Amino acid sequence: MKLQKLYRTSTIDLFSIVTQTEMPIPFVDEGISAGFPSPAQDFIDIAIDLNKELVRNPSSTFYGRVKGDSMRDMGINDGDLLVIDRSLVAQNGKIAVCCLDGDFIIKKIKIEKTQCWLIAANQNYPPIRVTAENEFLVWGIVVHVIKSF
């Protein structure tokens, strides 16, 4: 995956994607046991292209690198790479990259009858109620998180 820096904020770096490139990587199709070991394969002859696996809508998909720990209890940590799809509709319970009063933030969307809340996944961060006074946009929906160990 090739990344081209698009926008930098204090909470996320956004990157456009380049899907014209391919890089097939060997893939263990039978699954990898998390319990007792299974017989090892002598060779792997199947390949996977992560662009094809992770990007459903290339023209509306971006990557973003997380800065901060407000979503850590959902397994989204500082430095993780997000796959963000701008073509998806914001729905209750989805994790979204939002632009709130000029700042990009990553939060879980909570939609009530007359209100919208942005909920962190870390008790150190209070919920944010979006009001008519806020400049607010759901920029995209997080569809995948890529982690490094």
Catalytic sites, residue numbers: 70, 107
C-alpha Rg value of the chain to the nearest Å:
18
How many Å apart are CA 133 and CA 144, to the nearest integer? 31
Alpha-carbon span 64 to 76, nearest angstrom:
12
DSSP H helices, the chain, are: 50-54
Q: How far is CA 18 from CA 1, 4, 71, 95, 143, in A?
A: 7, 8, 27, 23, 17
